[in-house]
Amino acid sequence: MSQTPQAAKFRPATEIDTLMPAIADPVTAADFPQTILRYRNDRAAASVGLADLSDAQWIAHFGRFAPLAGSLPRPLALRYHGHQFRQYNPDIGDGRGFLFAQLRDDAGRLLDLGTKGSGQTPYSRFGDGRLTLKGGVREILATEMLEALGVNTSKTFSIIETGEALERNDEPSPTRGAVMVRLSHSHVRIGSFQRAAFQDDKALLERLTDYALTRLYDEAPGDNPPAQLLGRVVERTADLAASYMVAGFVHGVLNSDNINVTGESFDYGPWRFTPLWDAAFTAAYFDHAGLYAFGRQAEAIHWDVAQLAVSLRPLVEAQPLIDQLERFPALYGDAMQRRFCWRLGVAPGQAPGPMIEAAVRAMVTSGTPIDRFFHDWRGGAAREGAGYDDAAWTPFREAIADFPAAPGARDHAYWSDDAPCSMHIDEVEAIWSAIDQDDDWAPLHAKVAAIRRMGEAHGKTATS
């Protein structure tokens, strides 16, 4: 039976119905032996009117998947294809997750509640449809850190332990199972369009284009809707690529089925934050060629967006699509400058490019950690005694002198901390070890609090 959330601002939606039945398959959630609430993101829940749910209601909806009143009556496993490490795969889709609900946030945006680890679907192939608890904990840490550093990311909404023991090749096994719910600005991805194009379904391509423009971008279709949509995706993904770089983040698996057409980052598997500005740093142990290395992420995302253009080609002539794709490098450069200055806490000025290039060269030459650099130079002046006097930093010291501090750049007490808040693999493993060995969740909660404090110190991201 459907349960009604006790929250005045809850605004359910069912916009995905306009794409049914072509876009997804109704599925049934797994029946877990236990449902132990481990994490609820009340900050995210407040934005969609669900923060007033009791723990029992929360578990009913996000552990046993009782429908949210007025939203989807049944979960939907989405259908899509995608290029995985540049190899086209028509045999994928939601294999261990589904679209559980749609709803609107306090700004009126259409959002999705999607799952990971909620059971097998028609696209599970040989998988068990489950998620490890460690994978859920890692996703909390990734999304919290990215949000604090201004990246447009999905939110980890809920983690519920399931009482199952899972076997995995990449974790000591048996390992604890969990089901995760994420809050996302859509689950329509480039791979959704690729599947429609692969099946020569022009009608579905047109419907996907209209859905993305009208429901996700809140725009009326113009004279050339496919090119209009591609232009928006180019803008959003160029900014996403820049935000990864400034955050020092490596997604690890930038396949086209992992690129949301809203430009929101999501689906975190083997992610890492690189300690140093190392273009060759990879997150996935299986990325032997470095296709998705730190310094190649813009290239990878641009390539994926080009596959969207190819998919839209049946609807429009090539040149308008090419024109939109060619905007990506300049947009990426602009976003890098804007976001770098934002994290550094300086006014962008007229031409920050040389200053940023000098900073990157100095970080590479000196081996200065990315987070340390941004912390020490916040507001455009080095912390006293921070040790930036050697010759490697001379060009940057000279360049940064032309950039005044942004208003209130160092007002927050965080900037007086001796060390920055970072998120590197040793700490991730230590947080997980406390949970795994002692069922001690205090280090995780403390880290989330520290990350959010850092996010408050940085302030609102500059978007233009």
Is 422 within a domain?
A: yes
Q: Is the pLDDT of residue 247 over 50?
A: yes
- Look up residue 179 and give its amino acid: V
Q: Is the pLDDT of residue 8 over 60?
A: no
pLDDT at 4 over 80: no
DSSP notation for 215-244: IIS-----S-HHHHHHHHHHHHHHHHHHHH
Other Cβ atoms within 10 Å of 304 Cβ, number: 24
Cα–Cα distance for residue pair 20/26, rounded to 1 Å: 10
- Residue range 351-391, pLDDT digits in tens: 999 999 999 999 999 999 999 999 999 999 998 878 899 99
For the ranges 249-263, 341-355, 373-387, the one whose mean pLDDT is highest:
249-263
Residue 269 lies in a domain: yes
Q: Is 171 exposed, middle or buried (0-12, 13-18, 19+ CB in 10 A)?
A: middle
Q: Is residue 292 part of a domain?
A: yes
Within this chain, do residues 226 and 183 fall inside the same structural domain, yes or no? Answer: no
Are the C-beta atoms of residues 305 and 193 closer than 8 Å to each other?
no
- Identify whether residues 198 and 182 lie together within a single domain: no
Please list the active-site residues: 257
Name the DSSP letter for residue 312.
H
**Are 102 and 59 contained in the same domain?**
yes
Q: How far is CA 158 from CA 4, 39, 306, 394, 396, in A?
A: 18, 5, 34, 47, 43
Tokens 């507001």 belong to which residue? 379
Distance from C-alpha of 132 to C-alpha of 138, rounded to nearest angstrom: 10
Residue 250 to residues 239, 270, 287, 294, 296: CA-CA distances in angstroms? 15, 9, 12, 5, 10
Contact (CB, 8 A) for 277 and 248: yes
Q: What average pLDDT is seen over the chain?
A: 96
Picking from 344, 405, 331, the residue whose alpha carbon sits closest to that of residue 375 is: 344
- Residue 381, judged by CB atoms within 10 A of its CB (0-12, 13-18, 19+), counts as middle
Provide the number of structural domains found in the chain.
3
Distance separating alpha carbons of residues 250 and 296, to the nearest angstrom: 10
Q: Is residue 1 part of a domain?
A: no
- What are residue 84's DSSP bridge partners? 87
Same domain, 196 and 177: no
Q: Are strands 87-89 and 131-132 parallel, antiparallel or unpaired?
A: unpaired
Q: Please state, in angstroms and as integers, the Cα–Cα distance from residue 280 to each residue in 70, 149, 364, 423, following that order.
A: 48, 22, 12, 19
With beta carbons less than 8 A apart as the criterion, state whether 167 and 173 touch.
yes
Q: Considering the domain boundaries, does residue 7 fall inside one?
A: no
Q: What percent of the chain lies above the pLDDT cut of 70?
A: 98
φ and ψ at residue 345, rounded to 5 degrees: 80, 35
pLDDT at position 58 is 99
Of 166, 187, 208, which marks where a domain is finished?
Answer: 187
Residue 463 pLDDT: 55
Element containing residue 101 per DSSP (H, E) = strand 99-104
**pLDDT per residue over 206-246, tens digit each?**
999 999 999 999 999 999 999 999 999 999 999 999 999 99
359 and 438 share one domain: yes
pLDDT per residue as tens digits for the range 138-193: 999 999 999 999 999 999 999 999 999 998 988 888 999 999 999 999 999 999 99
Q: Domain end: 290, 316, 336, which one? A: 336
Cα-based distances in Å from 463 to 29, 190, 291, 338, 387: 38, 23, 28, 8, 32
Same-domain pairing of 68 and 117: yes
Report d(CA 174, CA 156) in Å as an integer.
Answer: 24
CA 27 to chain centre: 25
110 lies in the same domain as 157: yes
Q: Which of 301, 243, 292 is nearest to 270 (CA)?
A: 292
Region of residue 70 (phi > 0: left; psi between -120 and 50: alpha; otherwise: beta): left
* Domain finish residue from 164, 187, 210: 187
C-alpha torsion angle, residues 39, 40, 44, 45 (rounded to 10): 170
Count of CB atoms within 10 A of residue 235's CB?
Answer: 16
The answer on 96 and 158 residing in a single domain is yes
Is 463 domain-assigned? Answer: no
Residue 82, Cα to own-chain centre: how many angstroms? 18
Of the pLDDT bands very low, low, confident and very high (cuts 50, 70, 90), residue 462 is low
Give me the count of residues in the chain: 464
Residue 152 in any domain: the answer is yes
pLDDT for the residue numbered 5: 47
CA dist 445 and 450 (Å) reads 9
Helix (H, G, I), strand (E, B) or coil at 133: helix
Same domain flag for 135 and 264 = no
Lookup: tokens for 367: 């081996």
127 assigned to some structural domain: yes
Looking at the structure, do residues 26 and 133 belong to the same domain, yes or no?
A: yes
Q: What is the domain extent for residue 373? A: 345-458
The tokens for 366 are 């000196």
State whether 360 and 452 are in the same domain.
yes
Burial status of residue 334 (CB atoms within 10 A of its CB: 0-12, 13-18, 19 or more): middle
User: Which helix (H) or strand (E) element contains residue 365?
Assistant: helix 353-366
In the chain, % helix, strand, coil (3-state, to 5) comes to 45, 15, 40
Q: Does pLDDT of 7 surpass 50?
A: no
Residues contacting 459, CB < 8 A, separation 6+: 408
Ramachandran angles phi, psi of 224, nearest 5°: -135, 80
Together in a domain, 261 and 165: no
Q: Is the pLDDT of residue 75 over 70?
A: yes
